[in-house]
Amino acid sequence: IRSLAAPRCAVSDRVLRVATLTYDTLRFGEFEDFPETSEPVWVLGTQFSALTEKDEILSDITSRLWFTYRKSFLPIGGTGPTSDTGWGCMLRCGQMILGQALVCRHLGRDWRWVRGQRQREEYVSILNAFIDKKDCYYSIHQIAQMGVGEGKSIGQWYGPNTVAQVLKKLAVFDSWSRMAVHVAMDNTVVIEEIRCSEAAAPREMNGCLEGACAMAEEETALWRPLVLLIPLRLGLTDINEAYIETLKQCFMMPQSLGVIGGKPNSAHYFIGFVGEELIYLDPHTTQPAVEPSEDGQVPDDSYHCQHPPCRMDICELDPSIAAGFFCKTEDDFDDWCARIRKMSCSRGSLPMFELVDSQPSHLISADVLNLTPDFSDSDRLERFFDSEDEEFEILSL
């Protein structure tokens, strides 16, 4: 038994033309509940029982931020699209994985959303960062326009690695959250790079510290909460089954932010698994843009998925993904490294990426040694993943 999956979106020659149906045509009552199974349900590092904790599972999943297609927002770039239907699904998945990092940063992993209840100020601030307006940190406007610098025109479909690079750039300007977003290159996480970039002082710009304005004195510690994004390719056209157990173990880690990827031409935000099925939030629902009230409160019902989440067989996963992890403290990062090393030594599974203390000599180049907060390795990453975005192209009919 599995929930209904969203139909695939289609764009012809990168023109914004919707050619498929979305959840707008479906009733939430049509979604199947979790199966009665004794197998554990894992959601972003937390284990549940489908037999005795079904309400807790749904409460946890409903509490995740759910970003979907929106319509009737102000034109992107002043004259661009007023809806991202048909092209923005991977951008919305990027919002969801970063939104989860912000929730962990400001509210904690165990925070729960309750419909109709007045929310904490931190929650309202997080949600306002994603409103579909040009001046919000992580809005569809900001992501689409920042993507132009990554070689993506507004309205063009993104792959997971492009979204990761864009989020890294945008996070520099979020002085409230003050997170370090690190994108691991070449299937390799280099501990030295992360520690050096954490220790790098913010750059001064226009008389203030970029990314550090208005910070309280206690926030100037060397370690900034870390968002680690790892673009990966786990096969040629299909996922290599040797990676499946490793992928599952990533969802079991307390630092897990989930995975962005999907089926070919259809992006999803994967948050866990049960048995051989992945659990995911699907952005393929077009909802009206939301306007905050004068006091900054946001009508938030549409930002939480209030029906059982979708599931799909793990073997259907497109091999191009980006895995995410959040380490609030340096101890969290040390614990993550220990878990990855232990996982790499286990038999019967293939490591998805390599964890090394320092950059291997054959990978060292000038751009890798640039550790300033706004550095971009996107050109080399795009070359390495040259086929990745093509695999995720929205095909014409």
Q: Could you give the residue numbers annotated as active site? A: 89, 282, 284
Are the C-beta atoms of residues 330 and 263 closer than 8 Å to each other?
Answer: no
Are the C-beta atoms of residues 259 and 43 closer than 8 Å to each other?
Answer: no
Kindly tell me the burial class for residue 82, based on how many C-beta atoms sit within 10 Å of its own C-beta (0-12, 13-18, 19 or more): middle
Q: What is the DSSP string of 87-126?
A: T-HHHHHHHHHHHHHHHHHHT-TT----TTSPPPHHHHHH
CA 367 vs. chain centroid, Å, equals 25
CA 225 vs. chain centroid, Å, equals 16
Are the C-beta atoms of residues 351 and 343 closer than 8 Å to each other?
Answer: yes
Give the C-alpha separation, 367 to 292, whole Å. Answer: 41
Longest pairwise C-alpha distance within the chain? 60
Give the C-alpha separation, 286 to 89, whole Å. Answer: 10
Q: What is the DSSP string of 12-36?
A: STT-----S--GGGS-GGGS-----
Nearest Cα neighbor of 146 from 95, 199, 71 is: 95
Are the C-beta atoms of residues 194 and 161 closer than 8 Å to each other?
Answer: no
